[in-house]
Chain A
Amino acid sequence: MKRRYLAIVFLIITLTIGKASSGTFQQANEAYKQKNYIQALNLYSQLINQGIDNPYLFYNIGNTFYKLNQPGKAICFYKKALRLLPRNKEIKQNLQFIQTSLGIKEQALPWWNKIILYPVLWLTINELSIILAILGGILAIWLIFYQITSFSSIQFKLIGIISLIIFIFTAIYWGIDAYNYWYINKGIIIKDNIIARSGPGEDYMDIVKLREGTQIIIRTKQEGWFQINISKGVEGWIPQDSCWKI
């Protein structure tokens, strides 16, 4: 009996939080519509603080930052959204619009790299997870049939081999995607004309000047400074508050 009560209470809490989240999202959208961008941003931030990872929320925050004339932060949120929805045209279009207005051109991958990494660039980690699950299911059924029956036709063996190969490749791509998401710290420069220095301090030599909206890779953190990779072989240190993690 106690268990049943607990389940009902849990269900009510879940539904209440869900409904409240949707309500806040609508309120934030309404504030945006009224051009009250600060209020919209505050309401969207509440949802972020609730731990909601949603590409449409990130997209709307990106728009709000752009309207507040903070294009670097807008780019950061569009990139966050694209990680979850890499084929979304709206996000891509807005990102490209801001990058063009800032004069930022991202380094394009070599064609062979694009072909190899196509599934990672085009599919979400969720889609890869679903493909992996389907292939896993096919392989499991095949194995069961293989064990309990005496099927030995070429077609039957071919199904097993092809499924296994696709499964291995999907698993590799899934691994690359997960590694990229959880272990590669990408960041966006949120202030204009940030000087990357040779060490973590103002008295180190200037290495390169970074424009707002530039994407970098964060390697380490030390005393309020990030050690970053800018492009091939170019490294430097920037103040922690000049960059937001994607």
Chain B
Amino acid sequence: MQIPSLKDFKIINQYQSSSFTFVNGILGNTIEITYTLLPASSGRFTIEPVVIRSAGQTVKSNPITITVLSSSLPSSPPKPTLTSPFNPPQSFPYYSPPYSPPITTPTKSYWAEQKLSLNSVYINQGVLLTLTFYHISDLYIEGSYKLPDLSGFQVVELPQGKTQKTEVINNEEYVVEEARVLLFPITAGEKYIPPTQIEIAGSPFSSVQAETIFTNPLKLTVQPLPEEGKPAQFSGAVGQFTMEVSSPPSVAKTGESFTIDAEIRGYGNLKGIKSPSVSGGEKFEVFQSTTEENYLPEADKIYSQKKFSYLFIPKSEGEISLPPIEFNYFDPEQKKYQILTSPTAKVRVLKGASISSPSQMSTSGNEVKILGKDILYINTTANIKDFIPFIYQKTEYELYWIILAMTNLFVFILNQIKKRYQQQQKNILQKKAYKKALKSLKQISKQKIQNAEELSKQFIQIIQQYLELKFNLATTCVGEDDLQELLSKNNISESLIRKTKEFWQKTEFLRYSNNTPQQIEKTKMIEEIKEIIKSLEKESNWK
């Protein structure tokens, strides 16, 4: 970079700041060099373009033409009007500052004055200039001030600085209009503040004509900042400040960035103050990403706020201490330099996969070099009308559940009807079993049985039929061996089971006896079986 010759100017202050920004995913680097210049003489000057050469290309800035007007001081001070009772005395500009006008003995109906809050300040220390315009309230006049040439100062107008009040002076009511501006001297030495011009508009309600009046001039001593104890990183901040640094994340990953903000607040001028430098060393790569500043002029001072954001990219793993952020300023009240340092903080750095630092954006083999990162491109293939965001809101989905529920309900009802029908059939058969058994026994008692085998067979058949119908058995093969299981299963008492089995055995025995059964014996057996069936009927129904 080639800076043009600035021979017509004196360089008061120079500083450089750089910042990195992510705009549209592209990492950009901005270097800003600020010069504060003081013209050596009046005239028209041209500052030649700045030339930058990079990668075989040359870029030029635009030239700047400046017209420097001749200063009227101290050889030709403005001619004060006779309307002001505070015309500068002939010994001008060597007043004893601050100048205090004799407001208790006004001789005119309107006049103006100006004064400084301090007689002696340091470079870049704010000093309050108060302009006051007095006029008798009955005159109904208005004055507008025009600041004089204040080269050598940074001027900040205070919005809340304009006030209006009434004051009684020598039994006369005066309107007192005040305006305040903050001045930040750029260079050291004895400074002359020329008279401020007040334009008075004439009033149709009084005899006052439009005219221009001037305040008194002032003198200010600006001391250079002391060299003793001046920190190497000092960038010109003068005032009282505090610094707040945001906490880093407890865990970070190599190659993945995190941000730390350092916010400096306080009373004083932070304009043009460069960011506190932070060195990442071997553990971190540090970029200054953004800077934000706010200035809130108050009634008699300026509250400045400047935030510097730093992008930290860890380079190695482990428990790593963050480099401290240091900010230096000169405290004019303490008359010494102060250093604000961020508290020590540690970050646990884990191994990360992504690459976000430009210096790390190449693979180990150097076959592929990543030049930048951006978001992925938009989706152009999607058919946006085909996507159903909420399938459960569709009628088909609701219908599906209704069909499922209805089918189940239908099957349930059908099953209940079937079960009821089967139960009814069972009940009919159960009732039929007893009646059929009694009927069969009646028939046997009437029949003339020739042999015992035939009688036994018929008795067993009656029991079998009864059990089959009573207990709804599908097969007709109930034997003596099945009796115990079948009757127990249907909760028939053990005594009755035993009785039934004894009768069965007796009948079986009769079959193989080869005797012709006697009538008495047959009747007895019929009574016995009748008794058993009755008991079975009773117990099965009861249970």
Task: Give me the interface of A with B, judged by CB distance under 8 Å.
Answer: 18, 21-22, 25-26, 29, 32, 47, 52-57, 59-60, 63-64, 66-67, 69, 84, 90, 93-94, 97-98, 100-103, 105, 125-126, 129-130, 133, 136-137, 140, 143-144, 147-148, 193
Contacts and interface: CB of A to CB of B under 8 A. Distances in A.
B356 A147 contact: no
B205 interface: no
A125 B392 contact: yes
A66 B411 contact: no
A143 B414 CA distance: 13
B401 A63 contact: no
A229 to B, nearest CB: 21
B397 interface: yes
B389 A54 contact: yes
Nearest to A181: B390
Interface string B375-406: 11111101111011111100001001100110
Contact of B379 (A60, A69, A105): A60
Interface in B328-377: 354, 356, 373, 375-377
Given A136-B404, A140-B407, A144-B407, A18 B385 contact: yes
The majority secondary structure among interface residues of chain A is helix
B294 to A, nearest CB: 10
A29 B408 contact: no
Contacts of A90: 376, 379
Contact of A136 (B356, B401, B411): B401
Contacts of B408: 140, 143-144
Interface stretch (B20-28, B185-193, B225-233): B20-28
Contact of B392 (A66, A100, A102, A129): A129
B392 to A, nearest CB: 4
B387 A137 contact: no
B256 interface: yes
Contacts of A105: 249, 258
Contact of A101 (B25, B380, B407, B411): B25
A25 B384 contact: yes
B235 interface: no
B375 A126 contact: no
Contacts, number: 105
B257 interface: yes
Contacts of B412: 147
A98 B387 CA distance: 26
Contacts of A67: 24
Given A66-B25, A84-B389, 13 more contacts: A18-B385, A47-B384, A63-B378, A90-B379, A93-B375, A93-B376, A105-B258, A125-B390, A129-B391, A137-B404, A140-B405, A144-B407, A144-B408
23 contacts: A21-B385, A22-B383, A22-B384, A22-B385, A26-B380, A54-B389, A56-B379, A56-B382, A59-B379, A63-B378, A93-B376, A94-B375, A100-B354, A100-B356, A101-B25, A103-B257, A105-B258, A126-B388, A129-B392, A136-B401, A140-B404, A143-B408, A148-B414
A18 B392 CA distance: 21
A19 B185 CA distance: 69
Nearest to A103: B259
Contacts of B259: 102-103
B25 to A, nearest CB: 7
Given A22-B385, A56-B384, A32 B378 contact: yes
A18 B383 CA distance: 10
Question: What 6 pairs across the A-B complex have the smallest Cβ distances?
Answer: A103-B259, A56-B382, A53-B389, A60-B378, A54-B384, A56-B379
Contacts of B415: 147-148
A18 B24 CA distance: 33
B382 A54 contact: yes
Interface in B1-35: 22-25
Nearest to B387: A54
Contacts of B388: 126
Contact of A97 (B25, B380, B391, B414): B25
A140 B257 CA distance: 54
Contacts of B387: 53-56, 84
Contacts of B292: 193
A201 to B, nearest CB: 20
A137 B402 CA distance: 11
A64 B196 CA distance: 54
Contacts of B392: 125-126, 129
B376 A94 contact: yes
A52 B382 CA distance: 13
Interface in B192-225: none
A243 B543 CA distance: 75
Contacts of A133: 397, 400-401
A22 to B, nearest CB: 6
Nearest to A60: B378
A25 B385 CA distance: 10
B361 to A, nearest CB: 15
Contacts of B390: 53, 125-126, 129
